[in-house]
Amino acid sequence: MEVGVTCRNKKDITLLKIIKKNLFNIFLAIIFFFIICITLYPFLNVLAISLNDPIDTMRSVNFIIPRKFTFSNYIYVFTQNDLLTPFLMSIARTFIGTPVSVICTAMIGYVLSRRDFYFNKLFTFLFIITMYVSGGLVPEYLLMSRTLHLNNSFLVYILPGVVWVYNIILVRAFIDGLPYALQEAAMLDGANDFKIWYKVILPLCKPVLATVALFYAVGQWNSFMDTYLYARKLPTLQYVLYEIMESAKIHIDPHAVTQTTQNAVSPMSVRMAITIIATVPILLVYPFLQKYFVGGMTIGAVKD
């Protein structure tokens, strides 16, 4: 946009004039620098605590550079069985749940994009309605635990949220944007609808599927309520973090401490180490998918 014009000053005017002319730009830069700081400070703070000596942390928790550097908190987390298993559980549900969800969403999204399908309107309506009206917590809880008996079963992590209506709409809107001639050509070649979906649509949908995959993966990785309600015997990293936070069960076993590390371990430091372990995978993924999800969000907003 034309805001660039104010930045592009001629070289022959004095520094003071430049500053005066760009006062608002400088003000904005300062504001956004401040916003970046308050967004990142908590994470840096946590990182510093997780890398700091637990005894030293008790003095005060406000620092962003470790005062007494140590890896003992992380070593402790990864050598404890009751912390390692939840970590693997989180990984398992993310890596199993995400592909299943993405394929399912792509499939139903394609069917709902086919306006010539006789039941298109009805099925779309049935899906959209559930975005506005839901049974509520208690009927859902009863369905999972009393009717379907999914308690403490891995399926409870996959099945109930296998497709999100919002993501179906994203995929459908994306397919709507593709030229219909492609499908038509495949039809003339005698491909059936499944083949068209598999051979023509899927390869073209990569951008939107990347977005949707990110949403599902983040959802799986971050999910806490389903463990809390249905599967406490299959704890995930998020659930363990919750337990430690509530100090319901603190897994500090003094025996293990002396075996693995020379340092003592405190609940606070372990909590912060787990917080970092739970944050890093997201940090590694989302910046690279940024252009996809920003585009995806925009499609969704237009079509909603």
Partner 1 sequence: MGKSKKEKLYAKKRFSLALMKKQSMLLMMSVPFLIWLIIFKYIPLWGWTMAFQEVKPATFALCMWERKFVGFDNFVKAFTDRIFAQTMINTLGISIIGLVTGTVAAVIFALFLNELCFTKFKKVTQTVSYLPHFVSWVIIASIAKMIFNDGGAVDTFFNTKLHLMSSNSPLFWWIVNIIEIWKECGWNAIIYLSAIAGIDTTLYEAAKVDGANRFQRMWHITLSSIRPTIIVLLIMNIGSALNVGMERQMLLSNSLVQDHAMVLSWFAYVRGIGSNNYGLGTAIGMFQSVVGVILLLIANKIAGMVGENKLM
Looking at residues 79 to 98 of the shown chain, list those that interact with partner 1 (rule: CB under 8 A).
none
Least separation in angstroms between residue 159's CB and partner 1 is 7
Residues 218-237 that bind partner 1 (CB under 8 A): 218, 221-225, 229
Which among 69-77, 94-102, 154-162, 249-257 is the span making contact with partner 1, rule CB under 8 A? 154-162
What are the two backbone dihedrals, phi and then psi, of residue 12, each rounded to the nearest 5 degrees? Answer: -85, 0
Among 73, 80, 238, 266, binds partner 1 (CB under 8 A): 238
Nearer of residues 60 and 259 to partner 1, judged by Cβ: 60
Tell which residue, 221, 201, 220, has the closest CA to residue 103: 201
Token pair for 124 = 């779309």
Least separation in angstroms between residue 255's CB and partner 1 is 26
Least separation in angstroms between residue 256's CB and partner 1 is 22
Among 15, 16, 138, 248, binds partner 1 (CB under 8 A): 138
The answer to whether 111 contacts partner 1 (rule: CB under 8 A) is yes
Residues 15-44 that bind partner 1 (CB under 8 A): 24-25, 28-29, 31-32, 35-36, 38-43
Residues 44-73 that bind partner 1 (CB under 8 A): 45-46, 49, 60-62
CA gap 63, 65 in Å, rounded: 6
> Could you write out the DSSP letters of every residue in 219-276?
HHHH--HHHHHH-TTS--HHHHHHHHHTTSS----HHHHHHH-SS---HHHHHHHHHH
Tell which residue, 265, 198, 248, 259, has the closest CA to residue 49: 265
The answer to whether 216 contacts partner 1 (rule: CB under 8 A) is no
Token pair for 41 = 């400070």
- The tally of CA atoms less than 13 A away on the side-chain side of residue 83 is 26
Nearer of residues 258 and 290 to partner 1, judged by Cβ: 290
Nearer of residues 3 and 15 to partner 1, judged by Cβ: 3
Nearer of residues 181 and 262 to partner 1, judged by Cβ: 181
Nearer of residues 179 and 254 to partner 1, judged by Cβ: 179
Token pair for 50 = 């997780």
Which among 4-12, 65-73, 92-100, 203-211 is the span making contact with partner 1, rule CB under 8 A? 4-12
Contact letters (x/-) for partner 1, 175-194, by CB under 8 A? Answer: ----xxx--x-------xxx
Are residues 270 and 148 in contact, defined by beta-carbon separation less than 8 angstroms? no
Orientation of helix 165-176 relative to helix 81-113, angle to 10°: 40
Number of residues that bind partner 1 (CB under 8 A): 96
What are the two backbone dihedrals, phi and then psi, of residue 69, each rounded to the nearest 5 degrees? Answer: -70, 135
To the nearest 10°, report the CA torsion of 88, 91, 94, 95.
-110
Residues 239-268 that bind partner 1 (CB under 8 A): 239, 241-242, 245
